[in-house]
Amino acid sequence: MTTLLGLDLAGRTVLVAGGGPVAARRARAMADDGAHVRVVAPQVCEDLRDLVTASLHAPLLAPSSARRRPDDGAAPGGRVTWAPREVRESDVEDAWLVLAATDDSGTNRDLAAWAAARRTWCVNAGAAHEGTARTPATTHSGDVLVGVVTDVPPAPLSADVRARERRAADGSAERRGADPRRARAVRDAIAEHLRSGGADQRRHRPATGGFGSVTLVGGGPGAVDLLTVRGRRALAEADVVVADRLGPVDVLDELAPGVEVIDVGKTPGNHPVPQHEINAILVEQAQRGRRVVRLKGGDPFVYGRGGEEVLACREAGVPVDVVPGVSSALSVPALAGIPLTHRGTVAAFHVVSGHDGLDAAALAGVRDRTATLVVLMGVSQLARITAQALGAGADPALPVAIVESGSTPRQRVTRAPLGEVVERAAQVGVRAPAIIVVGDVAAEGRLDPATVA
């Protein structure tokens, strides 16, 4: 039977016998975990040689981002050294773990036997059933590490070589032994479940030092499946979610029971929870030791006031990070079939807030047709924006598209020339939230085959 354990290899010697790609992958992984890896092989592949060379120039290898530890931000770096010769029994003496990955099955079996005699765990990469340990198929979700192995009895380390060869020849050990493909398939299914936010990943022990943390998550334009994998993971780890009115609000229905949701949504002209109070909520919740997700529409740093929230957290000494989102300025036009740049038409775009009107750069781009203009939060200011553009000399026939409720089932596109768009929007009842696109790319049928350059 198999007992699944997590090993702390930091600062401990691991013997890797063999110099091929399998040895290189395993050596890299264990060095990332902080192990002191000693490779013994007459020759090594290019990847392993590069790993050894990197260790010579920087003895402590930096851990990969996937293996960072939550307590201090990083795992101890590892070392990789190489002895260019055949492996021998004495190499096992000071090893905590042995990886037999040579191209000779007999040598691998000998290594397993030498390790077993010293009560040292050994992974036989070529015949997993002949080792005393197996490498699981693993996946990370933040600081959660999941491993999958098949639960089978190992083959006995008999001194009778002929008995071992008979077991290898009839294949019975493999049939009842480790099944790496099956383990990987299960691992992949678990990884997908974690990525989709299907598992409750909240912490159940208080945060170190009593402080929690704040994560600003950009939720994208509104559709739940446009929320990033990292954003889904942050929500799965959250104790409390501070949510806006816009963005993927349907994802709130998928949160685990007990997750607190604080609604701070704003509507045009109505801000029931002002920004300074939102900042205070984030800080207060984190100071109670909770993991806080600030779920915002679009991207937190594109007219999302995310910078103010980060600053408030840092001033209070609260750990804070940001998960970028798919900005509605880019995604909503794309979902409506409007390319912001298009070869032979326009090579730049300019994003503005409707509340601020059009600056000189925006007006020049519209007048000269050198940049597509994208206006966020501009429905209530449509008449003003249009008047500014026309007053600056923009062509009244310049195409305009207004995309309402982008990425949702309620998405609607209204098109009209610049000189007529205000009247047309009033006729059809355009309402926020909406993105306004001004420029030749907004023309009806721009991507139809007959119009593609």
Q: Chain-centre distance of CA 176, in angstroms?
A: 37
Q: Is 296 a catalytic residue?
A: no
Largest CA distance in the chain: 95
Q: Look at residues 259, 399, 238, 243 and name the one whose alpha carbon lies nearest to residue 321.
A: 238
Report the distance separating Cα 376 and Cα 353, nearest Å. 5
Q: How far is CA 394 from the centre of its chain?
A: 42
Structure tokens at 410: 């309620």
Helices (H), 382-447: 382-391, 421-428
Q: Which burial class, exposed, middle or buried, applies to 429 when counting CB atoms under 10 A from its CB (0-12, 13-18, 19+)?
A: exposed
Three-state DSSP state, 436? strand
d(CA 183, CA 199) in angstroms, rounded, equals 20
**What distance in Å separates the CA atoms of residue 51 and residue 25, rounded to the nearest whole number?**
10
For residue 209, CA distances in Å to 283, 289, 290 come to 15, 8, 12
105 forms beta bridges with none
What is residue 213's three-state secondary structure? Answer: strand
Q: What angle do CA 403, 405, 406 make, to 5 degrees?
A: 65
E strands, 23-136, are 36-40, 79-83, 97-100, 121-124
Of the listed 110, 179, 266, 440, which one is catalytic?
266
Tokens describing residue 414: 């209204």
| Structure tokens belonging to residue 263 | 């609604």
Whose CA is closest to 232, among 206, 209, 201?
201
Q: Exactly one of 33, 239, 244, 299 is catalytic; which is it?
A: 244
- Using CA atoms, how far apart are residues 125 and 53, in angstroms rounded to an integer? 24
DSSP 268: T
Please state the φ and ψ torsions of residue 393, each to the nearest 5 degrees.
105, 10
Smallest CA-to-CA distance from 361 within 436, 400, 352 is with 352
CB 414 within 8 A of CB 401: yes
Catalytic residues: 244, 266
